[in-house]
Chain A
Amino acid sequence: MSSQPKAIISESDTTSRGPLALLLVSAFGWLILSTVLSLIGTIQLHTPSFLASCAAFTHGRVEAMQESAFIYGWAGNAAFAVSLWLLSALGGSPLRGPGLLATATAFWNLGVTAGVVAIAAGEATSIPFLQMPGYIQPLLFVAAAAITTPGVLAWTGRSTDSTYASQWYAVAAIFLFPWLFSAAQVMLLADPVHGITQTIVAGWFSQNLIALWLLPVALASAYYLVPKLSGRPVAHYQFAKLGFWALVVFGAWTGGRHLIGGPAPVWVPTVAVVALYLLLFHYVIVAVNLPAGLFGWNSSTTLRFVAFGLTAYLLNGLGDVLASSHAINELLDFTYFSVAQGKLLLGGAFSFLIYAAVYEMGPRITGIPWPSAGLIRAHFGVAALGTVVTVLGLAFAGWSQGHALAVTANGFAAIAAAAKPGLLIATAGEFLLLGAAIIAFIHLVRLQVESCCSESVVSDSPAKSAT
C-alpha cells in the first residue's frame, strides 16, 4: 500500500473520461454475457440436451456467440480503452476527438451486438475468431479504425522523444489490428481463398489476433504497472526491446499450430512449432524484466492481478511448446485441453492484466477512488479461483478425453463419461467467473455513478484503502 504512487489527475486523463468510461462499461457488460454463454456451453458438454431444443442455443452457436462476445465485446473494448489511456498518459498528449471516439465506440458495440444476434439466428461464418457475418465486418473495421486513430495520434504527438516499453506494445496493438482485420476480411469473407488455404489463413488471423493485438495490450499494462506499483524499475530494461520484437516477429508465424498431422502442407505446422520455440526467448525476457510483477503476490491487490496475469502468461507459453511435441500433441490434440489453454491465455493472462490496468485507470479518469476496497479484493479472489478451477477442470477433462480417445475400442459414450468429472469441475469454475464478472461490473458502474454525482477531484491514490 505504501508503494502505491500518488495519483495525479492530468488533462490527458480527464479529457478522455467519457469515451474511455463507455469502452470500459461496455467491456464489462460483454464479459458478463460471454461468461453466461461460456457457462451454457460448458454445461452442454456434459449435459448435451441442455437448451438443445432451441436452435439459437445449439452448442455450436453458443460457442460462436461466446467467442465473439468475449473477443470483440470484452477483450476488444477493454484493449481499446487500456491502450488509448496508456498512450495518452505516457505520451502526455490528450486523446484527440473524444466525440468521434465515443461515436465509434457506440458503432463498434452496435456491430458486435448485431453480430451476436446474427449468430443466434444462424448466420455464423464458422471461421474461428471471425464468426460474425460478413455484412457486419465492414462496420467493425471502420469503427475500429476510428477508435484506434486517436491512439496513433497520441503516440506521434507525444511530448517527449523517448519512448517506453508500454508504448511500443500499445501502439503496435492498435496499429496492427486494422491491417490484420482487413486482410482476414478480404481473404476469408469478401473474396475467400479456396480449400485448405482458407484454414491456414484463418489460423494466421486467429493466432495474430491474440499475439499481435490482445497480448501486446496486456503486456503494455504489465510494463506500465509493475514499476509504478512496486516502486522498482523494470529489471534489465535493455532487453525489453528484444522481447517486444521477438513477440511481433515470431508470434506472427504461429498460425499453423493446430494443423499438426492434418491436411495442410507439413511445412505450415512445422514453421508454427519452430516459432513457438523461438517465442520462448520473448517469455524469458518478460520474466527477466518483470520479477517484481511475477512475485508481487504479497503487495497491493492491483499488483496481485498483475502477478496472476504474468504467471498465467508464462505458463501458457511453456504449455504451448509442450503441447506441440509429438507425444503430447498425439494425446491431447482435439481435446478440451486446447480449450483449457485458451482459457488460461485469454481468461487468465489477458483478462487479469487488463483488470489491473482498469483498477489503475478508473480513479484517474473519473477523479475519485474506487468505492469499495472489499469489492476489488472480492473480484480478485473469485476471479482467480474461478480461472484456476475452470482451467484445471478443462485440462483434466482434456487429459481424460485424450486417454479415452487413444483406446480404439472406446465409443464416444465412454469417452464422454471419462471427461465428465473434469467438465463438472469446469462448470463450477464458470459459475465463479460469472460472479467475478458481475462484481467487477457493479463496482465499475458504481464508480461511474459516484463520479457523476461528485464534483470533487480526489488527488489521492486510487482505492487508497484498497490497493
Chain B
Amino acid sequence: MKNGPIFFLCLLASLTFSWAGLALASHRQLSAVAPYYDVAEAKAFPEPMSGIAARGQLVYQDLGCASCHTQQVRRGDLGNDLDRKWGTRQSWARDYIYQGRPQLGLVRVGPDLANVGARLTSAADVYKLLHQGTATMPAYAFLFSESPAGAQTGAIAVGQVDGRQVVPTRRAMDLAAYVLSLNSPHVYGPEAAHNAVKPAAEEHKP
C-alpha cells in the first residue's frame, strides 16, 4: 500500500471491472433485445406504450408507487406469483423495452402490477381504487377535483359531494392509462424456447 499510484490504480480497476462486468455486459446482452414479431398474429410484441400511458408512468414515478408495488412476476419455482394470477408466465426483459424507467420495486405492500391491465378492465376501476383506497392503500383525494353536477368535463365521475361531481384530474387519467397498459401476456418465441423444460426421457438419454 506504500505505492500510491498503484494503490489508486487497483482501486479504480476493481470498480471498473465490476462496472464492465455488470453494467456494460448486461447492456451488451440486453440492447440486442428487440420487439418480437409473431408471424401468426402478424404483430410485434410488446406493443409500444401510448403517449398518455407514458405520461402516466411519470405520475406513477413521482408518487413513488414502486415503494409498495412490484412489477415483476417471478418464475414458477420461486414463490406463488403465478398462482396469485399476477401473470400467466414469469416476466422477461423483453417486457420492459418500451419502459422509460422500469418500476420493478422491492417491497409488496400491495399486489404486483406487472399485468394489472389484465385484471382491471376499465379506467373506472382504477379511479375507484384511487378515490376510495383499500385496506392497504390510502385514498388519493388530490388526484380528483369537484365540478358542478352535470358539467361536461369529459371525465368519468367517481362520486358526488354536496351535489357536485367528483372527477379525476388529468394526472389521474394519465395514471389510469399507464396502469391499464401494464399487461404482457404474450409468449415470445426465443424466451419460450430458452426456458422450456426438457422432457424427462430426453434428459436421461446416455
Interface positions of A (Cβ within 8 A of B): 44-45, 48-50, 52-55, 58-64, 122-128, 155-156, 161-163, 168, 171-172, 175-176, 179-180, 183, 187, 192-201, 203-204, 208, 212, 241, 245, 248-249, 252-253, 255-256, 258-265, 268, 271, 326, 329-330, 333-336, 338-339, 405-406, 408, 412-413, 415-416
CB closest chain-B residue, reference A173: B11
Partner-A contacts on B (CB < 8 A): 1-2, 4, 7-8, 10-12, 14-15, 17-19, 21-23, 26-27, 29-31, 33, 61-68, 70, 72, 74-75, 78-80, 83-84, 90-93, 95-97, 99-111, 133-142
Collect the chain B residues with CB atoms within 8 Å of residue A194's CB: 30-31, 97
Whether B22 lies near A256 (C-beta < 8 A) is: yes
**Cα distance A422–B63 in the bound complex, in angstroms:** 26
Of all chain A residues, which has the CB nearest B64?
Answer: A60
Residue in chain B with minimal CB distance to A48 = B138
Is there an interface contact between A155 and B111, defined as CB atoms closer than 8 Å? no
Task: Judge whether B22 and A52 touch: CB under 8 Å.
Answer: no
Q: Which residue of chain A has its CB nearest to the CB of B4?
A: A156
Are the C-beta atoms of A258 and B106 separated by less than 8 Å? yes
Instruction: Provide the bound-state CA to CA distance between A184 and B96, in Å.
Output: 20
Bound together, the chains give a CA A393 to CA B86 distance in angstroms of 29
Minimum C-beta distance from A391 to chain B (A): 16
With both chains docked as a complex, state the minimum distance between the C-beta of A96 and any C-beta of chain B, in angstroms: 16
- Residues B136 and A263 in contact, CB atoms below 8 Å apart: no
Measured CB to CB, the closest approach of chain A to B96, in angstroms, equals: 4
Does the CB pair A263–B91 fall under 8 Å? Answer: yes
- Is B68 a contact of A59 with CB atoms below 8 Å? yes
Closest B residue, CB atoms, query A158: B4
Known: A127-B101, A196-B102. A406 touches B1 (CB 8 A): no
Residue of A nearest to B80 (CB): A408
Interface core residue of B22, B30, B74, B97 (most chain A CB under 10 Å): B22
Q: A124-B64, A255-B18, A256-B22 are in contact. List 6 more A-B contacts (CB 8 A).
A: A48-B138, A49-B133, A49-B138, A55-B142, A264-B26, A412-B134
Task: Report Cα–Cα, A226/B27, bound state, in Å.
Answer: 43
Interface centre among A128, A163, A199, A262 (most CB of B within 10 A): A262
B29 neighbours in A (Cβ, 8 Å):
265
Q: Which of A61, A261, A335 is most buried by chain B, counting CB atoms within 10 A of its CB?
A: A261
Residue of A nearest to B111 (CB): A412
State whether B93 touches A263 (Cβ < 8 A): yes
* Chain A residue at smallest Cβ distance from B72: A262
8 closest A-B pairs by beta carbon, nearest first, are A60-B64, A52-B138, A252-B18, A413-B135, A261-B78, A261-B74, A122-B62, A263-B91
Cross-chain contact B110 with A197 (CB below 8 angstroms): no
| Chain B residues with CB under 8 A of A156 | 4
By the criterion CB–CB under 8 Å, are B107 and A49 in contact? no
Does B72 lie within 8 Å of A195, measured CB to CB? no
Pick from A54, A162, A168, A241: contact of B142, CB below 8 A: A54
Task: Specify which chain A residues have a CB less than 8 angstroms from the CB of B133 in the assembled complex.
Answer: 48-49, 52
How far, in angstroms, from A361 to B133 measured CA to CA in the complex?
50
Residues from chain A with a CB closer than 8 A to the CB of B67 are 59-60, 63-64
Chain B residues lying within 8 Å of A55, measured Cβ to Cβ, are 63, 142
B15 close to A330 (CB less than 8 A): no
- A245→B6 CA distance, assembly (Å): 13
Would you call A58 and B64 a contact (CB within 8 A)? yes
| Contact of B30 with A196 in the complex, beta carbons under 8 Å | yes
Distance in angstroms between the alpha carbons of A52 and B15 in the assembled complex: 41
Q: A412 near B102 (CB under 8 angstroms)?
A: no
- Are B136 and A416 in contact, with the CB atoms below 8 A? yes
Residues of B within 8 A of A59 (CB): 64, 67-68, 109, 138
Q: Tell whether, in the assembled complex, residue A262 and residue B18 are in contact, meaning their CB atoms are under 8 Å apart.
A: no
Query: Which of chain B's residues has its CB closest to A49's CB?
Result: B138
- Bound Cα distance A203, B110 (Å): 22
Q: How many angstroms from the CA of A64 to the CA of B111 in the assembled complex?
A: 20
- Given the interface pairs A54-B142, A253-B18, A412-B134, the reply to whether A334 lies near B104 with Cβ below 8 Å is no
Chain A residues whose CB sits within 8 angstroms of the CB of B23 once the complex forms: 183, 187, 193, 197, 200-201, 204
For residue A235, give the distance in angstroms from its CB to the closest CB of chain B: 19
State how many angstroms separate the Cβ of A333 from the closest Cβ of chain B: 7
List A contacts of B103 (CB < 8 A).
Answer: 126
* Contact present for B63 and A60 (CB under 8 Å): yes
Which residues of chain B come closer than 8 Å to A45, judged between CB atoms?
Answer: 109
